[in-house]
Each structure stands twice: as structure tokens, then as C-alpha cells.
Amino acid sequence: MLMRWRIDDLFALCAVVETGGVTAAALKLDCPKSTVSKALSRLEADLGLRLIERTSRRLRVTPEGEAFFARASAILELAEEADAMMLGMRSAPAGRVSLALPTAFSREIFAPRLAEFAEAYPEIELDLIVSPGASGVREDCDLAVVVGPQPDSALMQKVLLGGRLLWVASPEYALRHRLDSTPPDDFSEVRIYETRFVGSSLALDVSGKPRHLHLSARGMSVNDPLTVREAVRGGLGVSFLPERYCETALAAGDLVEVWQEVRFSEGAARVAVVFPGTRLLSPRFRAVITFLEEICRRPGATP
């Protein structure tokens, strides 16, 4: 059974949806606006459906257009991968990849190894989107590194780090306040913590007994775990940090672990890379994910 539409016209549809307009799509595809308009009109005629509602002031993707766009994107990804593999046009992963990263992960783990990535994959062009706190998948990115448990969704994910949250303090503070592994009475020593925990009820295991910690009315919050680390290192009470971000300071004696009998639930410090589940992994996306997995398996937060 023959398809009623041409695969080449899918490029026009995807470009229009992704850029939000015919003019921008033409710039992306490096072709005249008329070529994009004709391809879009031809595709709609072949399908017998309106995919894009066009007026003089705005452009709107119809529900049918959204559904077809999702499948068209997957078709083009697969065609690109098949073309690279079968025709030998790409001997190495190539193309542009947008990657969203939390600031701490970028500074401590990824950025120090960017030169290594560039040497291993010289034909991949990275667009890095770095933001404080836990990143999420955005419309303008292909992959995102996220922190903490993720809700069920259509997104695919691969776990990069599965470490623990540790309670830490400066050696001087721990000595002055006689902190050890013994659980605290009221957690009043917690003076600063990550913003992502504000308003949440943290499930704890305190010497084998369940307990919850509410942080909404306590101390300071900041959307960067490295700022929490440096504040605690400077003597600002006790806080909890992902193991990966404090292991070097612990080894150097700049921080000490306290309250070891108070444990967080599994997955609280997990870091994963997520991507749309409908996307077939092209070589360039697979290369970035593989590199992230490899550097996260290495010991230490710095090279």
C-alpha cells in the first residue's frame, strides 16, 4: 500500500512546528518561504487534514497536526539514522544536540570534561542550557539531566548517579555542638538547604523508625547545592547534600558526616538523563548519553 504523502514534506512540517512560523522554518531549512508553504499545503492535501491553522497574525498547530508531527519527527529521526548507517555518510556521530544541565552538575562533573567530549566527538555541536536547581525537559532541548525522583510520564530516562543524601557540617561546628551519629531531637541545626526541598515532607528513617521532616519554616533555601556546601563548610549549621557533591570535601576534612543514623529514602539524590519517549535515539543523542554515563561512573566529583 503506497503512502499518500511524501517523506520530504515532513521536513517542512517539523520545521514549522519547531520554529513556530513559515519564515523561521525557511531560515532553518535554508530555502525560500514558498517552498515551505507549498510542501505544507501539499502534505495537508495528501492527508486530507488541516495540520496548521494559518492567519495573518498567528499560526496554530491543530490536534491532528500535533499527532502527525510526533510521528513525523520519529520517522525523520529513523531515516537520518538509517541514512548514516547504510550510506556511510556519517562515519561518526554528528549534528547539533541541546542539553539542559543543573548548574552544580555542569560545574562539578560535565564542564571539566568538555574538552574530552570535544575530542571524542568533534562533529557534535553542543548547545548547553545551564540553570540552577534541578533541570527539566524543555521544548528547546533534546536531552536534560534531572535531579531526584521523576514522576511517571512519557519521558524515557537513564540513571546516571544513584548516590545518597548525606548530613554534613564543618568539623568546627560539629565539635562545638557535639554532633555525632546520634539523631537530633528537632533538626534545629539545619540552617540552609536546596530550594527543591521547600514545602516538601522528607521521608526519613531514624534509627529504624519512620519520620518526616518539614522544611517550609526553617532557615535559608538556595537553588544550588554547591552554595549549600560552601555555606556549611563556612560554619552555617548542618545540611544534607548529594554524596557526589561533598565527597571531596569530606576526604579533605573540610566537612564531616553527622547524624548517620538518619537516612533519606532511596532515590532522593538520584541523577538521570531524560528525553522524549517518542524520540528514536540517533547516533548523536546516543553518544551524549553514553558519555554522561561514562563520566558519572568515575570516582570523584572532579577530574
Distances from the Cα of 240 to the Cα of 36, 138, 218, 257, angstroms: 53, 28, 14, 9
Instruction: Residue 131: name the closest of 156, 152, 101 by CA.
Output: 101
What is the rounded average pLDDT of the residues 26-42?
A: 90
CA 134 distance to own-chain centroid: 8
Per-residue pLDDT of 244-264, as tens digits, reads 889 889 999 999 999 999 998
Q: What is the pLDDT of residues 176-202, one digit of tens each?
A: 999 999 988 888 899 999 888 887 778
What pLDDT, in 10s, does the model give residues 196-249? Answer: 888 777 889 888 888 888 876 677 889 889 999 999 999 999 999 988 889 889
All residues at 6 or more sequence positions from 296 whose CB lies less than 8 Å from its CB, including other chains: 109, 160, 161, 271
Going by the DSSP 8-state scheme, the letter that residue 96 receives in this structure is E
Query: Could you tell me the three cell numbers for 87?
Result: 550510506
DSSP secondary structure letters along 204-220: EEETTEEEEEE-TTSSE
pLDDT at 301 over 70: no
Percent of the chain with pLDDT over 90: 40
Q: 13-17, 19-23, 78-82, 236-240 — which is least confidently predicted? A: 78-82
User: What residues contact residue 227 under an 8 Å CB cut-off, 6+ apart?
Assistant: none
What is the reported pLDDT for 2? 59
How many Å apart are CA 41 and CA 293, to the nearest integer? Answer: 43
pTM of the entire structure?
Answer: 0.61
**Tens-digit pLDDT profile for residues 91-100:** 578 888 999 9
Cα distances (Å, whole numbers) of residue 22 to 3, 31, 68:
25, 11, 18
Q: Angle at Cα 37 formed by Cα 32 and Cα 41, nearest 5°?
A: 150
